[in-house]
Structure 1
Amino acid sequence: MKENNVVILDDHPIFLEGLKRIINHDSEFIVTDCCKNSRELFFSLSLAPANIALIDCSRPRGDMNIRALVNQLTLNHPRMTIVAMGDCPQQQQLSDTLKPQIKSYFCKSLTPENLITGLRHIWASHCQSEQLLMDDSVDAGHFIKPRLSAKEKLVVEYLHAGLTVSQTALRLSRSVKTISSQKRSAMRKLALNRDSDIFRLKLNEL
């Protein structure tokens, strides 16, 4: 199986090392570098391009802010998939404002299994998008889905990031029953039959 290169940007050394071990444990991905600031990241990418960049939304003082960083990465590496990481709703909301440049958002509290699952689905979605761009016979209108409510969209985004219904309810300070209802409603509108179909969504088109 071909390995997909992942580069990580985070200024916390313990988190960096743990995340690297989790990803490298999976045969589908390999971490090419761990960077503490944007200067290290751009230097690393100039030497070894990556398929996926995992970027902490919280940038250290004196470093590029996340918006400027994402804009520069998109300009220099347009085919790379950018995934934001964070640990609070404000960072999730910040990530949302940078779509479609940022393809997804991962909570730092994700279990290793959910993290790898999220990476796999993000990469599968990327490959599918690339294929659609090359296929002139595809009718883009066929993929238009009914509009979700703001709450349904947020629930779908958390589920897409790998959180369970219970974890999403905790993050959004809602009941599990409410989140389950919003999940079912969103899946009905999007014509999804299985929970795994959520990971195949292109969030920027919701």
Structure 2
Amino acid sequence: MSGQTIHLAIVDDHPLILEGLQKLLEGASGIEITGTFGNARDCLAFLATGRADILLLDITLPDASGLDLCREIKEISPATRILALSNHSERSMILQMLQQGASGYMLKNVAADELIRCIREAHEGLLTFSKAVREIMAKPSAAELRETPRLTKREKEILLLIADGKTTAEIAGMLHLSPLTIETHRKNLLQKFGTPNVAAMMKAALQHGLM
């Protein structure tokens, strides 16, 4: 793909960032900005008829999650390679974006030459990261350093129902168990994951590939 013009679109809800990225990339040879958008709706409308070889995508948008938008873009425009450009530096968020089809991830403090390198690498079909993100990916998370919890079949079942937003009473009714039994399972799950609350447990379960 070298030598071809890279058609680039940018999605970010901060006008100053959009303007800054445009100015930064205007002088880069072989890169043509085909559109800038402040929300998911306008981006999707553009992709229905327009072209973007590379799309720089912020994860926090006013009308959609960047994770959901990434997946949707890959469904309607599989050839578009998505590079997340975000302030979120959590390893779990980086992994989730990759799982949704992103071709790379950069933090917003990325230097101009790094940004252009990542755009070119993604255009060549490579998985690419800014230096700061490579360092994050190289360090195992606390959850990964712990062994994957061994769950019983019932515990896995309850974990998925909790993740689905079901209450203790609803789970008890669905599984024909008492609410007290469900609460005991819930406490056992928190203990096995070594997490203080359900939100942290869900994050750990995702990192361990249990959901």
TM over 0.5: yes
> Quick one: distance in 2 between partners of 1:94 and 1:3?
30
Structure 1 match to 2:188: none
Structure 2 match to 1:143: none
Structure 1 match to 2:92: 93
> Quick one: distance in 2 between partners of 1:96 and 1:43?
27
Structure 1 match to 2:48: 46
> Quick one: distance in 2 between partners of 1:98 and 1:109?
18
Match of residue 21, structure 1, among 15, 18, 23? 23
Q: Gaps spanning 5+ residues in structure 1: where?
A: 127-156, 173-206
Match of residue 7, structure 2, among 1, 5, 13? 5
Contact 2:83 2:104 in 1 (8 A): yes
Structure 1 match to 2:112: 112
The one-letter code sitting in structure 2 at the alignment partner of 1:81 is R
Per-residue CA deviations over 1:33-75 (Å, capped at 9, x if unaligned) read 1100011101122231110111001122xx1212221121111
Paired-residue identity, %: 22
> Quick one: distance in 2 between partners of 1:71 and 1:117?
24
- Determine helix, strand or coil for the equivalent of 2:48: helix
Contact 2:94 2:105 in 1 (8 A): yes
Structure 2 match to 1:55: 57
Structure 2 match to 1:161: 129
> Quick one: distance in 2 between partners of 1:74 and 1:118?
19
Contact 1:95 1:102 in 2 (8 A): no
Larger radius of gyration: 2
The one-letter code sitting in structure 2 at the alignment partner of 1:106 is M
CA drift of 1:98 comes to 3.1
> Quick one: distance in 2 between partners of 1:164 and 1:81?
20
Structure 1 match to 2:37: 35
Q: Gaps spanning 5+ residues in structure 2: where?
A: 140-211
Per-residue CA deviations over 1:50-108 (Å, capped at 9, x if unaligned) read 10111001122xx1212221121111001110111111323x53231132401110111
- The total of aligned residue pairs comes to 135
User: What are the within-5 Å matches in structure 2 for residues 46-195 of structure 1?
Assistant: 46-60=48-62, 63-90=63-90, 92-100=91-99, 101-126=101-126, 160-163=128-131, 168=135
- Determine helix, strand or coil for the equivalent of 1:125: coil
Structure 2 match to 1:184: none
Query: Judging changes above 3 Å, is the alpha-carbon distance between structure 1 residues 31 and 118 closer, same or farther for their aligned structure 2 residues?
Result: same
Contact 2:84 2:97 in 1 (8 A): no
Contact 2:54 2:122 in 1 (8 A): no
Contact 1:12 1:36 in 2 (8 A): yes
CA drift of 1:125 comes to 2.7
Per-residue CA deviations over 1:3-38 (Å, capped at 9, x if unaligned) read 111110000011101111222211121111110001
Structure 1 match to 2:202: none
- Determine helix, strand or coil for the equivalent of 1:119: helix
TM-score, normalization: structure 2?
0.57
CA drift of 1:164 comes to 6.3
The one-letter code sitting in structure 2 at the alignment partner of 1:77 is S
Query: Judging changes above 3 Å, is the alpha-carbon distance between structure 1 residues 93 and 23 closer, same or farther for their aligned structure 2 residues?
Result: farther
Contact 1:23 1:29 in 2 (8 A): yes
